[in-house]
Structure 1
């Protein structure tokens, strides 16, 4: 796959996401978006009609039964590379799709460079995990122990509250209202959490929250 243009199928049920991905990938001379799809039937039609090297797959699309759908694609199109691009950071989902044979997993909370890095990795026939996911699984795609995490960095009750709400996507001002503190205090807590846990963005905080068994909504 190295040395030739990579033909990509973008699969997401939100048109604005598909358009944004098209625009981002148009900046690469070695990548060409040949079609897109808003549901599972569209994916199958696109794969039948075009020579596709890489499928960018949103797990939440209509008709996509996650693991079975991926397994079926791997059987029907064995040379197809599948890169998951999703908002889902549940560890069972991450582990399941990796075991099903996807070639990468990135989240929609990641920066655009993660997608481009993932595409470069796919071209080298490597599996790519975004930083938000990478720290949460070992080399075999298995989740680590939440007890181990707690031992590494004990969290206060307030920090656990902040972590849970941040992982749910709650904005700072709404967290402030719920906890009766100022938005500045919320941001300070969030910064302290990332520093204490050696995390770098909200996606990583969300994965961490899942590993600790905190509700992520």
Structure 2
């Protein structure tokens, strides 16, 4: 409790609205906020309509938001609804419906943090303390999804359109063949193979054979190397 007290004494109390269709969850979150200190609960809502009306009227600093509300709509719609009337409001997702797609959508909506309801309360506590200073926070399960999204984004970023000949040259490079061997295998001149290599590097932004080899695995041109026992 000493940490909570020090935070609440140096940071302005955050005005909070809790949006969840389970009243027991709302009550629990409000009680939890009271034990932490530094928060003032100014509103609560269980539907998108109620949340919009309350949010526009109160313009809270922070909204703790479930992803699926009782009226069957996605809670993220609230962010779009309030963005004009309350542009400084930040959003913390507290939900039991985390999937790769919902985490992706939450990030696209610009939320401050994401916490899984199935995780320990310590994660909610840490997320709330981070919210007091505007610091992003993601629970362990949300972080797992984010790491997947980062890997996905990296692959998407490097996925480029290659000609059939460039794909053949890339595959052979990844198999460890030299430019001379590739030229002989494909019946091309060395100059042509070097041009294909240059084009591959320019298109992918990769400049080492080891990087091109990994890229060939990523896009399915080559099986990943087997590791020894």
TM-score normalized by structure 1? 0.60
Whether the 8 Å contact between 1:86 and 1:107 is mirrored in structure 2 is yes
CA RMSD of aligned residues (A): 2.2
Where in structure 1 are there 5+ consecutive unaligned residues?
146-217
Which of 101, 104, 121 matches 1:95? 104
Report the structure number with the largest CA radius of gyration: 2
| SS in structure 1 at match of 2:36 | coil
| SS in structure 2 at match of 1:76 | coil
Which of 4, 10, 17 matches 2:12? 4
After superposition, residues 1-217 of structure 1 pair within 5 angstroms as 3-61=11-69, 62=71, 64-138=73-147, 142=149, 144=151
Deviates most, 60-69 or 103-112: 60-69
Deviation at 1:87, TM superposition (A): 0.7
| SS in structure 1 at match of 2:92 | strand
| SS in structure 1 at match of 2:87 | coil
Whether the 8 Å contact between 1:105 and 1:128 is mirrored in structure 2 is yes
Which one has a larger percent helix, Structure 1 or Structure 2? 2
Q: How many residues align?
A: 143
Deviation at 1:67, TM superposition (A): 4.4
Measured at CA, do residues 80 and 55 of structure 1 come closer, stay the same or move farther in structure 2, by a change above 3 Å? same
Write the deviation string for residues 38-69 of structure 1: whole angstroms up to 9, x where unpaired. 10111112213324110011111026434444
Measured at CA, do residues 60 and 67 of structure 1 come closer, stay the same or move farther in structure 2, by a change above 3 Å? closer
| SS in structure 1 at match of 2:131 | helix
Whether the 8 Å contact between 1:40 and 1:63 is mirrored in structure 2 is no
| SS in structure 2 at match of 1:136 | helix
- Mapped to 2, the partners of 1:117 and 1:85 lie a distance apart of 13
Measured at CA, do residues 28 and 66 of structure 1 come closer, stay the same or move farther in structure 2, by a change above 3 Å? closer
Whether the 8 Å contact between 2:59 and 2:89 is mirrored in structure 1 is no
Whether the 8 Å contact between 1:70 and 1:97 is mirrored in structure 2 is no
Deviation at 1:130, TM superposition (A): 0.6
TM-score normalized by structure 2? 0.57
- Mapped to 1, the partners of 2:56 and 2:79 lie a distance apart of 16
- Mapped to 1, the partners of 2:25 and 2:11 lie a distance apart of 28
Q: Provide the residue aligned with 2:178 in structure 1.
A: none
